[in-house]
Chain A
Amino acid sequence: MSDTVHGHGGEDGETRRDFLVLASAALGAAGAGLAIWPLIDSMNPAKDVLALSTIEVDLTPIAVGQRITVKWRGKPVFVDHRSPEQIAKAAADDNASLKDPQTDKDRVKKPEWLVLVGVCTHLGCVPLGQKVGQPRGDFGGWFCPCHGSHYDTSGRIRVGPAPVNLEVPTYSFLNDTTLRIG
């Protein structure tokens, strides 16, 4: 520290200098943070990716009891035309012990159509059960072979490491035979 600063109440000069150093460092850090944000955000989904966000599905060819898989946002979506027995089973299971409690009614718009994102909520495998002959797990819904998660006829997690139920995507019925996902 130079003598001049000392002479005029060094204390004062010191704190002012400290303040300036601190303030410029803070401003510099904030500026760097702002400059980095565009780089980080460029890794988030781009506009064209977001634009691909809806698809329409024709429901007429799907028979009762049949399940089909469509691709939405790069992921499989399960459309399940449930039979009355499956609907009844799902409703009965509302009272079973559930890891992620939800009633079947809250998971569908029309009971005969169950629409689910076909991605295991554990680590993202596609559960089995869509095709005839594939295992459907202990609860008649889906079975994820990766680490053994069992889902019921409402797509709720019943046994296994998956933490939550199969996700229900945003969807609507445009008319009786057309489903729009997204």
Chain B
Amino acid sequence: MSASSQQQGPVVRWIDQRLPIFSFLQHELHEYPTPKNLNYWWNFGSLAGIVLVIMIATGIFLAMNYTPHVDHAFDSVERIMRDVNYGWLIRYVHMNGASMFFLVVYIHIFRGLYYGSYKPPRELLWWLGLIILLLMMATAFMGYVLPWGQMSFWGATVITNLFSAIPWVGEPIVTWLWGGFAVDNPTLQRFFSLHYLLPFVIVAVVMLHLVALHTAKSNNPLGIDPKSDKDTIPFHPYYTIKDSFGLGVLLIVYMALVFYAPNALGEAENYVPANPLQTPEEIVPEWYLLPFYAILRSVPDKLGGVVLMFASIFILFVLPWLDTSKVRSARFRPIYRQVFWIFVLACIVLGWAGAQKPEGAALMIGRLATAYYFFHLLILMPILGKFEKTRPLPESISQPVLKN
């Protein structure tokens, strides 16, 4: 037991001897040695955790007023918006929270890419993060179906139909997913059930993510391991306060959206009740899924498109082995440091292309960006690690600072 918990009062000590919750917190939050040079890009992990809590909190209250039935779902959401006290607020916080969640997590992932946080010994940490991303996508997709607007219905139709591309078993799988012969009431009800469940699965995987983090310890902007006590500081209060500042900034952006532009990121079409007999002019997913939609549509073949789309995420699982460079941080990799930004640009371009009609120039640009995405991960990463001349690493985290 740590020294400080023995300094606590008798009640805390009594509890701690039976359930070591206080020494656990002391150990993981206070003593957890964190590199002292973390910059603001390291805020996004804890921000993602906070947004997850907000999503679960608002979701539970939405569920108290939401009716998962094709005849009532749309109206129950409208009732939340008009009649339920603060229902509009709870829904807008939930709706825009999904966007904030993805924004924060995407930044968190790009942070990892830039500073090489996926490299040994953090491969499993990286994997758990990618699993969280996949679970988030499934959760957000099913949540978007719940209001049962036109985009809900047709988004669900197009996405579930992706599985029909699987040879032989595709059709039975899709029928099984639907619980019928089209997206219909059984589909809506199971999506609600899973939309309620998956966030708690995410919480569980986040716990594992944290266990892996506290085992491998945080990476840092220099990408080198702390050498001594001089290189680290306790997480609390130093990073709790830094994270709190980041949270303030995030909440300003988030609440600006909620109060001043709550529907800016959504599709107006989703305020039209679902009509299974009429497809809207254009089906576009939410912004955070657009890059993957662009990859899907860049291939003129049904199965090929689906395979490539799933590959774009699964390939990230093998990134720790595709990247052959021994140096973690892009700071010391003069070429990677530049191509990294081309990669970011390619992802943004993919997002743009996913929102366009898949024809003409937009289709070509989408294809080029898709090609670059895979070129970067599959070819550039292995080659760069072999040929790039990296800059010398500092001896320790403190050394460059102390020298000046």
B-contacting residues of A (Cβ < 8 Å)?
40, 43-46, 49, 69, 71, 73-76, 118-119, 122-126, 145-148, 161-163
Contacts and interface: CB of A to CB of B under 8 A. Distances in A.
A11 B343 CA distance: 59
A74 B180 contact: yes
Contacts of B161: 122-124
Interface in B257-307: 276-279, 281-283, 297, 300-303, 305
Q: Which 5 A-B pairs have the closest CB atoms?
A: A74-B182, A73-B181, A124-B161, A125-B279, A123-B161
A136 B133 CA distance: 40
Q: Considering residues B177, B184, B302, which has the most beta carbons from chain A within 10 angstroms of its beta carbon?
A: B302
25 contacts: A43-B177, A43-B179, A43-B190, A44-B175, A44-B176, A44-B179, A45-B180, A45-B186, A46-B186, A49-B179, A49-B186, A73-B180, A119-B182, A123-B157, A123-B158, A123-B302, A125-B154, A145-B281, A146-B279, A146-B283, A148-B358, A148-B359, A161-B300, A161-B302, A163-B302
Given A43-B190, A45-B186, A74 B181 contact: yes
Given A122-B302, A161-B301, A161-B305, A145 B279 contact: yes
Contact of A145 (B160, B180, B282): B282
Majority secondary structure of chain A interface residues (helix, strand, loop or mixed): loop
Contacts of A162: 302
A161 B306 CA distance: 12
Contacts of A126: 277-279
Contacts of A125: 154, 157-158, 279, 283
A123 B31 CA distance: 53
Contacts of B282: 145
A45 B179 contact: yes
Interface in B171-223: 175-184, 186, 190
A124 B181 CA distance: 11
B109 interface: no
Contacts of B279: 125-126, 145-146
B224 to A, nearest CB: 45
A125 B160 CA distance: 12
Interface string B129-161: 000000000000000000000000010011011
A115 to B, nearest CB: 16
A74 B162 CA distance: 19
A141 B256 CA distance: 48
A125 B182 CA distance: 11
Contacts of B184: 49, 74
Contacts of B180: 45, 49, 73-74
Nearest to A131: B278
Contacts of A119: 182
Contacts of B277: 69, 71, 76, 118, 126
Contact of B276 (A43, A49, A75, A123): A75
A43 B300 CA distance: 32
A118 B181 CA distance: 13
A75 B179 contact: no
A166 B358 CA distance: 22
Given A44-B175, A123-B158, A125-B158, A75 B182 contact: yes
Contacts of A71: 276-277
A104 B178 CA distance: 31
A74 B175 CA distance: 12
A43 B176 contact: yes
Contacts of A122: 161, 302
Contacts of A49: 179-181, 184, 186
A1 B381 CA distance: 50
Contacts of B158: 123-125, 146
A128 B161 CA distance: 19
A45 B182 CA distance: 10
Given A45-B178, A74-B276, A126-B277, 20 more contacts: A43-B186, A44-B176, A45-B186, A49-B180, A49-B181, A49-B184, A71-B276, A73-B181, A74-B180, A76-B276, A123-B158, A123-B162, A124-B157, A124-B164, A125-B279, A145-B282, A146-B158, A147-B358, A161-B301, A163-B302
Nearest to B177: A43
B207 to A, nearest CB: 25
Contacts of A147: 297, 358
Interface in B293-324: 297, 300-303, 305
A45 B276 contact: no
Contacts of A146: 158, 279, 283
Nearest to A71: B277
B142 to A, nearest CB: 14
Given A145-B282, A146-B283, A162-B302, A46 B179 contact: yes
B370 to A, nearest CB: 15
A59 B359 CA distance: 39
A162 B177 CA distance: 21
Contacts of A148: 358-359
B225 to A, nearest CB: 41
A74 B190 CA distance: 17
B157 to A, nearest CB: 4
